[in-house]
Amino acid sequence: MSRRHVEITPDLMLRAYRHGLFPMAETRRGDRLYWLDPERRGILSLHRFHLPRRLARTVLSGRFTVSVDQDFAGTIAGCAAAAPGREDTWINPQIERLFTQLNRMGYAHSIESRYNDQLVGGLYGVALAGVFFGESMFSFVRDASKVALVHLIARLRLGGYQLLDTQFVTAHLAQFGAEEISRDRYRALLAEALTADAQWLPDPDPAQLSAEIRMMAEASRYGPGPDPTSTTPGGYCNR
């Protein structure tokens, strides 16, 4: 019996995200995509994000020029590039093509960090309703991807988002407060966030953005407050 081939389209990708699935290729040269629905899901709380003071100073210093959706192709290429300790990636040409199409449709977004006018770091993901599905990030210069992440968090907070899905928890994300939750808990948060009326903010007021980042740094200094997405007292993105 032959297997039925289902073409993966941008619309199919969006439906999958709404049901808690996300795609990966096995290798950079792999020609198949796999749908993942892990038992433990990584999330990064928008309200309990830990922003170290040193990083806050770097973000606010203007050392990096941060832009949004100005070079999506360059950002996803940076995420797909081999790096020390990461000789291969899960981003194959099909992934690049599909997410580039989602970017043109207004669903996939990139945040880019530049130093001396050169793209040196960034991240990308998919925004649906009140959820941002973080896909990957890269950094060629120290702190470049971290600065992009801080800008993402600030924009999501200002835009009324409820959930940042990191898919997995890495050591890089754990330092900012990322945690694993059960599949059932994730699906409940996802369903609620998909009803939110959030707004993607590519170019917020600079003063408002800076104030939000300062607020995040101040909250981190004195310890996080309760997380609205958590069901337990004091409860609380990157491949």
pLDDT tens-digit profile of 99-136? 999 999 999 999 999 999 999 999 999 999 999 999 99
- What is the reported pLDDT for 34? 80
CA-to-CA distance for 94 and 201, rounded, in angstroms?
A: 28
How crowded is the C-beta side of 185, counted as CA atoms within 13 Å?
A: 16
Dihedral (CA of 34, 196, 233, 154) sign: positive
- At a CB cut-off of 8 Å and minimum separation 6, what does 228 contact? 47, 162
Question: Where does the pLDDT of residue 236 fall: very low under 50, low under 70, confident under 90, or very high at 90 and above?
Answer: very low
Asked if the model's pLDDT at residue 237 lies above 60, the reply is no
pLDDT tens-digit profile of 172-185? 899 999 999 999 99
Question: Of 55-64, 83-92, 105-114, which range is least confident?
Answer: 83-92
Question: Of 1-5, 14-18, 25-29, which range is least confident?
Answer: 1-5
Question: Where does the pLDDT of residue 222 fall: very low under 50, low under 70, confident under 90, or very high at 90 and above?
Answer: low
Q: Which residue has the higher pLDDT, 85 or 221?
A: 221
User: Do β-strands 40-43 and 179-182 pair in parallel, antiparallel, or remain unpaired?
Assistant: antiparallel
Question: Of 76-80, 146-150, 159-163, 186-190, which range is least confident?
Answer: 76-80
Asked if the model's pLDDT at residue 87 lies above 60, the reply is no
User: Do β-strands 131-139 and 163-167 pair in parallel, antiparallel, or remain unpaired?
Assistant: parallel
Task: Report whether 131 contacts 194 (CB < 8 A).
Answer: yes
Counting residues of the chain whose pLDDT is more than 70, the rounded percentage is 85
CA-to-CA distance for 91 and 130, rounded, in angstroms?
A: 25
What order of strands is seen across the sheet that includes strand 65-68?
A: 65-68, 108-115, 118-128, 131-139, 163-167, 40-43, 179-182
CA 150 to chain centre: 10
Q: Which residue has the higher pLDDT, 90 or 9?
A: 9
φ/ψ of 127, rounded to 5, equals: -110, 125
Q: How far apart, in Å, are the Cα atoms of 19 and each of 15, 53, 85?
A: 7, 37, 32
Give me the CATH topology for the region 10-222.
Aminopeptidase (3.40.630)
pLDDT tens-digit profile of 190-202? 999 999 999 999 9
